[in-house]
Amino acid sequence: MTVIDETGESVNDSEGRVFTVAGGDWDEILAGLQESPEERIVVNMGPQHPSTHGVLRLILEIDGETVTEARCGIGYLHTGIEKNTEYRNWVQGTTFVTRMDYLTPLFNEAAYCLAVEKLLDIEEQIPERASVIRVLMMELNRISSHLVCLATGGMEMGALTMMTAGFREREETLDLFEFITGLRMNHAYIRPGGVAQDLPPGAVDKIGNYIKLMRKRFPDYAKLCNENPIFRGRTEGVGHLDLAGCMALGITGPVLRSTGHPHDLRKSEPYCGYETYDFEVATWDTSDAYGRYRVRLTEMYESLRIVEQCLDRIQRTQGHPVMVEDKKIAWPAQLALGSDGMGNSLDHIRHIMGGSMEALIHHFKLVTEGFHVPAGQAYAAVESAKGELGVHAVSDGGTRPYRVHFRDPSFTNLQATAAMCEGGQLADVIVAVASLDPVMGGVDR
């Protein structure tokens, strides 16, 4: 029971809601109390791992089990990568940008190098073999990224078999990366002008075996999830975002293509020779988490098709250069691993030091200072596993970038969180966010 004392303050002498009344018409007061909204609860979901691929904080206001407001709290993983590139030369920048979205490092490197090559005006001088290797590595990276998305998203829904299978196949992909670049991630393999070094002996056979293995394994995902009533019940209609919403928010990648819109930069604005490859753009028409899963599954098959075409071209271009001929730009790209395991080939060192003092001085200045890039600005974009990954690079004519800014698809796609989650159930929030496949390394850069 609530009692109003002589000061107008309420005194609660029993359980129940307590109100402070300071005079006025009792009918108006009672009407206002009846219309007052029920209490809302604010829940902090995260920062957590791994479905959000990093430290994403979701601030959710809920009414019972219904989400009434959803906001994303970012900034917990800020690395200052874009700013750091301003204090390194243009080639050293690849070692920074590869660490942004750490599930798609080769896309980060490719987009950055395409922007630098635009500034240098050497796009037509990139050797064919280098472009083929870039496409090969990006499509393998697309497969590994999608596998993590399906594995972690499945784990959050309780589909543990999906999780173990996804990470099992990803390990096969990372083994290929390690064999080719020396590292499982953060490769800095794609460089301005080409790639760091040619494919090692035996790479074609290993990639061929990988394709055969994946063609056996991928159908298991379809059997496990496509017509699974539990999986479909958990994903169909969840995280709905139609084409109009995607266009308004700038959403790209599998989220956009799940609305039926076949936008893919590999087709609409080809780069690295994608216009010469035969593949289809994967789409679905449900605009929900299930559709995004189907798009990613189909994209992995299409990526395997592209990898097969790359193998044919790699065999045809055997012995061709993988770096531009201009020695004012090209870092050494034909290095054999030395005894130190760091790529310092004694044959190459002997060639430099035994040639001329000028050659040795040039090599030293190229590595320590870097090459000059004409003043100007350029934008380059690639179709990353998450969507359009763009780079705006600005040069003041020096050996270091004046500014490098990335349009990371994870950052842009996270804008859809509120539209996808508000009005839905609390339990569906993690499914909706996981279907966006955000990686916070790309968001907090």
Q: What is the mean pLDDT of residues 53-63?
A: 82
* Tally of CA atoms within 13 A in the half-sphere of 371 that contains its CB: 17
Backbone angles phi, psi at 269, to 5 degrees: -135, 75
Contacts 24+ apart (CB under 8 A), 57-65: 58/417, 58/429, 58/433, 60/421, 60/426, 60/429, 62/426, 63/38, 65/425, 65/426, 65/427
User: How does pLDDT run across 384-400, given as a tens digit for each residue?
Assistant: 999 999 999 999 998 99
- Per-residue pLDDT at 307: 94
User: How does pLDDT run across 171-194, given as a tens digit for each residue?
Assistant: 999 999 999 888 888 888 999 988
Question: What's the token pair of residue 314?
Answer: 């790699």
User: How does pLDDT run across 186-240, given as a tens digit for each residue?
Assistant: 888 999 988 988 898 899 999 999 999 999 988 888 888 888 888 888 888 888 9
Of the ranges 18-27, 145-154, 357-366, 397-406, which one carries the lowest mean pLDDT score?
18-27
**Predicted model pTM:** 0.85
Cα 64 to Cα 36, 147, 285, distances in angstroms: 16, 34, 31
- Measured at the CA of 263, the angle between CA 311 and CA 143, to 5 degrees, comes to 40
DSSP string, 21-33: --SS-HHHHHHHH
- Per-residue pLDDT at 35: 55
User: How does pLDDT run across 81-117, given as a tens digit for each residue?
Assistant: 999 999 999 998 999 999 988 899 999 999 999 999 9
Of the ranges 48-52, 178-182, 366-370, which one carries the lowest mean pLDDT score?
48-52
CATH 1.10.645.10 domain locations along the chain: 56-329+371-443
The CATH class of the 56-329+371-443 domain is mainly alpha
Task: Give dist(CA 320, CA 403) in Å, integer.
Answer: 34
User: How does pLDDT run across 116-154, given as a tens digit for each residue?
Assistant: 999 999 989 999 999 999 999 999 999 999 999 999 888
